[in-house]
Amino acid sequence: MPADPILRHCLELLSWAGALREKGLPVGEHEAARLAGLIWPPEEAAAEALADPYLAATMLWRTLGQGFRGNPNHLRPRDQDGPRLASDLLTLLKLHLRIRRGLKGLVAWPEEGQSMAGLDGDGGWCDLCGQCCCHCGTVPTPPQGVDYPPWFYHALAGEALLHQPFCPFLFQALERPLFFCALHPIKPLACRRFDQTDCRRGRPGRGFPGRAGEAGVALPFPPHL
């Protein structure tokens, strides 16, 4: 149990929200506001973001809270890391709300959240673990004929938070900790080009190696295709 109350409350908030979403349960805004109030002065944006059905709450817990091994920039927080963790978390929560609003008119996601059953598409080898999106930023060039709001380019390049634990455009599905790209239909070219070979090179054993192109199999779309 960390001695620093800010660190303790951050970890409590992250594990609470991350575990709920891992089980496919919603995050209540009232309880989120109570826990957030232990960390920040009254901060409505934090509670609103935590209760949003698209927030990658489980990935926030894995990276910021547990020091997910895939991301060397986010080691498990130490005793002195409370203020930094609180600041990083609030930045990401506010950014999530901004992205949700910025997507309107660009990509239409259901208001109530995205069911894993709706994540069908091509390929079938990707297990939607989200690990390939745990990086410090990508080249934000959009597909031909697409233009993003100006600040999307900075957010995609990882300039909204140094160092970000994962791409802020990574969303979480409703029922299970499966992750998908908020920009899927218009994602940057660099993400579109990322394929099964790149996935395996990054960490052998990820995905469903034998299932690419398997006839008749309807599986979630690979976030990078």
In angstroms, rounded to a whole number, what is the distance separating the alpha carbons of residues 161 and 92? Answer: 8
Least separation in angstroms between residue 42's CB and ligand SF4 is 31
Closest CA to 135 of 197, 181, 80, 86: 181
Does 98 bind ligand SF4 (CB under 6 A)? Our answer is: no
Pair 109, 103: CB distance under 8 Å:
yes
Interacting residue with ligand SF4 among 12, 31, 43, 127 (CB under 6 A) = 127
In angstroms, rounded to a whole number, what is the distance separating the alpha carbons of residues 212 and 10? Answer: 40
Interacting residue with ligand SF4 among 130, 158, 165, 177 (CB under 6 A) = 130
The structure tokens listed for 105 are: 């008119």
Interacting residue with ligand SF4 among 71, 114, 138, 172 (CB under 6 A) = 138
Closest CA to 171 of 56, 82, 61, 80: 56
Least separation in angstroms between residue 170's CB and ligand SF4 is 4
Cis peptide before 224 (omega within 30 of 0): no
Site for ligand SF4 in 187-206 (CB under 6 A): 187-188, 191, 199, 206
Q: Binders of ligand SF4: how many residues, by CB under 6 A?
A: 24
In angstroms, rounded to a whole number, what is the distance separating the alpha carbons of residues 9 and 22? Answer: 20
The structure tokens listed for 146 are: 């697409």
CA distances to 85, 144, 146, 160 from 88, rounded to whole Å, are 5, 33, 30, 10
Interacting residue with ligand SF4 among 32, 170, 174, 212 (CB under 6 A) = 170
Interacting residue with ligand SF4 among 35, 86, 132, 174 (CB under 6 A) = 132
Least separation in angstroms between residue 58's CB and ligand SF4 is 14
Does 128 bind ligand SF4 (CB under 6 A)? Our answer is: yes
The structure tokens listed for 162 are: 């140094």
Does 155 bind ligand SF4 (CB under 6 A)? Our answer is: no
Site string for ligand SF4, 42-81 (x = CB under 6 A): ----------------------------------------
Sites of contact with ligand SF4 (CB under 6 A) = 126-133, 138, 156, 167, 169-170, 181, 183, 187-188, 191, 199, 206-207, 222-224
